[in-house]
């Protein structure tokens, strides 16, 4: 079944995957979602299920509380008025709405507050607030993405829309510590969705896309990374939304371990963390001591390698008996993963990458280099690359994280 996208009163069609097994063909009902929900699914499908399907509420993390207050302060700074708020007024708002109770560590709390103050001071230093021409703040939107007889709704909030000298700028604030590459910004799905919603609001501006900027403002770094989009890129982003919705419809919502797990509010009900919050069985082996020895042994010299293998075997059997993939002790945690390595068809890859000017970047066909290159490729090229791989071998590995 082919899909279509509505855009500016026109219909754009796109074909199914050549395999005939397109995930789009399994979409059977309307879905209402948001960029943040789609991003959650990409981060961890099980977290998506907990938050979007089961609607399980969790308290806001300190990072979320901090980000919300910074966004609120930025809205205050740019709220239209006869006179723009001063730096002192912005800092007063930030200070009065600061919530120290979300922090358990006093030093961390003071550091976070100081960081927020620095962000606001730096923002005033680098921006003339009075000269910014605001079109809208925290603009709510909904865009309709059509597939067959189904219309899927994607909603969200754009932090800021400015009128510039010759066009417009769409801006989203970020409080993240990590600054992305320009390539990541140029292919950022969130910015493409925001531009798509903007063009529905101002359809005639599609004729002047070269005068519309989409930007991510990283407040911690005081850096604004900007990009532009073509109409083709906007259409491709909507196709990607349909593709993600198809993945969600088919998903088994498996948990995905990542560095973001430490800040997840669903640890207590996540199967990957259930050992940490278990009720201890008096009849079970003293697994914590085994784990502690395993963790410490891993960091010792190769002379301990034999004992390490024995401990790993004991822990592996314990995991099988308890039906868990991650175990915990005061010394740290151990995650068991199934590692897959792939073999790529070099000729097929060349056919895909050479027209895109990326073939020369791969001196040899290996997974790491290919991931770096494919991260900025069009979605069709990524799909073709995925078809060109086959599983070479599988092996189990144990990832240790010290407590």
Cα distance between residue 365 and residue 385, in whole Å: 12
Q: Stretch 299-314: mean pLDDT, rounded?
A: 78
Q: 225 lies in which domain range?
A: 3-54+133-250
Do residues 83 and 172 both lie within one domain? no
Q: Stretch 218-228: mean pLDDT, rounded?
A: 97
* pLDDT > 90? residue 11: no
Give the max Cα distance, the chain.
75
* pLDDT > 70? residue 350: yes
In this structure, the strands spanning 389-402 and 332-344 are antiparallel
Do residues 117 and 236 both lie within one domain? no
61 or 305: which leads in pLDDT: 61
**Whether the Cβ atoms of residue 44 and residue 256 lie closer than 8 Å to each other:** yes
341 or 266: which leads in pLDDT: 266
How much is the pLDDT for 190? 94
| Residue 342 Cα distances to 75, 335, 380, 389, angstroms | 48, 22, 20, 6
Do residues 237 and 123 both lie within one domain? no
Phi, psi (degrees; rounded to nearest 5) at 138? 45, 55
How much is the pLDDT for 29? 61
How much is the pLDDT for 13? 33
List CB contacts of 16: < 8 A, sequence separation 6 or more. 1, 2, 3, 22, 24, 25
Q: Among 224, 250, 276, which residue terminates a domain?
A: 250
Query: Is the whole-model pTM more than 0.85?
Result: no
- Total domains in the chain come to 2
* pLDDT > 60? residue 127: yes
**β-sheet bridge partners, residue 155:** 34, 142
Q: Among 110, 129, 148, which residue terminates a domain?
A: 129
Query: Tokens 């995905």 — which residue?
Result: 256
Do residues 92 and 205 both lie within one domain? no
Query: Tokens 């961390």 — which residue?
Result: 108
203 or 285: which leads in pLDDT: 203
Q: Over the chain, what is the mean pLDDT?
A: 85
Do residues 121 and 12 both lie within one domain? no
How much is the pLDDT for 363? 53
């Amino acid at each position: 079944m082919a899909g279509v996208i509505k855009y500016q009163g026109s219909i754009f069609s796109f074909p199914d995957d050549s395999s005939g097994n397109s995930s789009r063909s399994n979409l059977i009902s309307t879905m209402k979602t948001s960029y943040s929900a789609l991003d959650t699914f990409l981060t961890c499908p099980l977290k998506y299920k907990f938050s979007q399907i089961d609607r399980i509420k969790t308290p806001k993390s300190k990072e979320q509380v901090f980000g919300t207050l910074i966004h609120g302060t930025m809205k205050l700074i740019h709220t239209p008025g006869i006179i723009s708020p001063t730096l002192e007024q912005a800092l007063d708002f930030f200070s009065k709405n600061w919530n120290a109770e979300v922090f358990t560590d006093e030093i961390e709390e003071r550091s976070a507050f100081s960081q927020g103050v620095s962000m606001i001071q730096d923002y005033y230093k680098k921006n003339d607030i009075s000269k910014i021409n605001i079109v809208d703040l925290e603009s709510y939107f909904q865009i309709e993405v059509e597939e067959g007889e189904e219309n899927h709704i994607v909603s969200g909030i754009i932090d800021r829309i400015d009128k510039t000298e010759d066009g417009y700028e769409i801006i989203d604030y970020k409080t993240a510590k990590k600054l992305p590459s320009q390539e990541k910004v140029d292919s950022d799905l969130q910015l493409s969705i925001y531009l798509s919603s903007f063009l529905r609001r101002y359809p005639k501006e599609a004729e002047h896309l070269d005068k519309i900027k989409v930007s991510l403002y990283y407040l911690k770094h005081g850096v604004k990374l900007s990009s532009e989009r073509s109409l083709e890129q906007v259409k491709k982003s909507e196709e990607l939304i349909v593709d993600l919705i198809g993945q969600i419809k088919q998903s088994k919502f498996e948990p995905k371990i990542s560095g973001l797990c430490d800040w997840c509010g669903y640890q207590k009900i996540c199967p990957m963390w259930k050992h940490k919050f278990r009720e201890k069985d008096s009849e079970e082996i003293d697994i914590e001591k085994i784990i502690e020895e395993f963790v410490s042994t891993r960091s010792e010299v190769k002379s301990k390698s034999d004992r390490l293998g024995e401990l790993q075997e004991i822990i592996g059997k314990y995991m099988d008996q308890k039906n868990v993939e991650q175990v915990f002790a005061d010394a740290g945690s151990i995650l068991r993963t199934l590692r897959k390595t792939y073999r790529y068809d070099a000729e097929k890859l060349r056919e895909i990458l050479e027209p895109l000017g990326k073939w020369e970047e791969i001196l040899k066909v290996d997974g790491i280099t290919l991931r770096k290159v494919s991260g900025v490729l069009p979605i069709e090229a990524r799909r073709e690359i995925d078809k060109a791989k086959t599983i070479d071998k599988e092996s189990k590995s144990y990832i240790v994280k010290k407590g």
